[in-house]
Amino acid sequence: MGLFDDDFYSTKVSRRARSTSSRDEFAFSNKKGIRSWSNVQVAFVASFTSAAAVLLLFVLVFGGGGLDIGSSAASVSASGSNSLEQRTIQASAKVRPAVVSVINEQTVPYGLLPDTGKSDGQAEGGTAEEGQLSGSKQEVGVGSGVIYKLKDGKAYIITNNHVIAGAESVKVMLVNGEKREARIVGSDQITDLAVLEMDGKDIKTVAQIGQSSKLQPAEFVLAIGNPLGLGDSLSMGIVSKTHRVVPVSLNEDGVYDWQQEVIQVNVSINEGNSGGPLIDMDGKVVGINSMKIAEVGVEGLGFAIPIDNAMPVIDSLMDKGYVSRPYLGVYTVDLEQYFAQKNMDGQAAAGDGTTEQGQGATPGGEATDLPELNLPDEVFEGVIVLEAVGPAQEAGIKLNDVIVKLDDKSISSTMELRQYLYEEKHIGDEIKVTYYRGGKLKTASFKLAEKTKDE
């Protein structure tokens, strides 16, 4: 039995029905004064009348509100172009020509060249001497960037600070494979942002800057960049959390000394994606891809710097080459680390007089390299001054002083010291530093200076 194989949908008419219909038509057509209508005409009039009645009833009940047949038809016909697939294609097409690969070049010692199996000296037809520099620059890292501005014949690129850190020269590869020399306009370690400048000849596409504040959880986003050196690569996912604060180690020594506000996404962010754009479905940049959690068993944890946070930094880098911040003038280490190291040294000395590496304690069991701070027993938190320069030095702060307060804010770590300075204070503000020296509590008050590029 077919889908419509029943009496209701049957197009067959029985012989009895046909004969009855013929008699009716004959009788109707012979009535005096009445025009003969065919069945088709009668059906058409009935249908039109019914439709008019329905329309009139709709207008009476709903007042005609929202009745726009033309716009409804247009929306239906355009529905195909509003699909997620089409929006993804259109969004990426807007930005891809503006995404570049950023190549960090540095002079490397003699050794095996990548993919050659030969030493630098052998590759150049000479001989390599141990420890001597080859004098040629090699590609030591590749990241991503996005062209966001064209001005006076120059193209300006946003990328990460860690992508160009230590670079002696920087090259940029366009989406068509062309390489160009680039200049570092400015960089900022704290926010992990940098700006590059290159020749803007034939550059037609500039990425549009969006608003990260408008992002919502579960919203679709795209990451564009150069993962693992593959170039011009797209990955897609959703916003997992619009505002996440993660601790970072600015010196990459494993000690967290800053907190970064980021957008958390489940988009694939791999080595080489750093510095590339995170875009929304309108093709606008809402973040700069920066980092991921790279641990065994961890997947789908990528992070991007919100573009709303990035643009003031980018503007400062364009204007000055660095980010203007209040400057205290101390290099510090957390007191917690001091106690942890002292405890390790004490345990090693209590064993056989040496540490596991053979350093850190003398044969007599006394710890080396760690100064005696003579702090009161109740003091466990603060930061130790390793070096004082600028305003702090002029105010009399010295090596091994232990800072425990800035103004009335207790300071337990370098992270908290930076946060208080950068978030609560301004250049030229007066600040009171409370610290211990030789077990005695002291204070010093002075004005914060401006942190320059060199500092």
> How would you class 74 by CB atoms within 10 Å of its CB: exposed for 0-12, middle for 13-18, buried for 19 or more?
exposed
Catalytic residue among 120, 134, 162, 401: 162
Tokens of residue 349, six digits: 């000395």
Helix (H, G, I), strand (E, B) or coil at 138: strand
- As given in the structure block, the two tokens for residue 183 are 């200049």
Please indicate whether residue 426 is annotated as part of the active site: no
Distance CA 106, CA 89 (A): 37
Whether 274 sits among the annotated catalytic residues: the reply is yes
Closest CA to 308 of 191, 421, 221, 422: 191
Give residues with Cβ within 8 angstroms of 217, minimum separation 6. 238, 239, 240, 241, 242
d(CA 44, CA 37): 11
* Catalytic residue (one of 120, 188, 192, 280): 192
Is residue 388 within 8 A of residue 330, CB to CB? The reply is yes
End-to-end CA distance of the chain: 86
Q: Which residue has the tokens 């606008």?
A: 284
**What letter does residue 240 receive in the DSSP assignment?**
E
Q: Is 228 helix (H, G, I), strand (E, B) or coil?
A: helix
Query: 273 and 222 in contact (C-beta within 8 Å)?
Result: no
Would you say 157 and 173 are in contact if contact means Cβ atoms under 8 Å apart?
Answer: no
Q: Are 453 and 325 in contact (CB under 8 A)?
A: no
101, 134, 187, 274: the catalytic one is 274
Q: Are 223 and 265 contacting, i.e. CB atoms less than 8 angstroms apart?
A: yes
Q: Active-site residue numbers?
A: 162, 192, 274
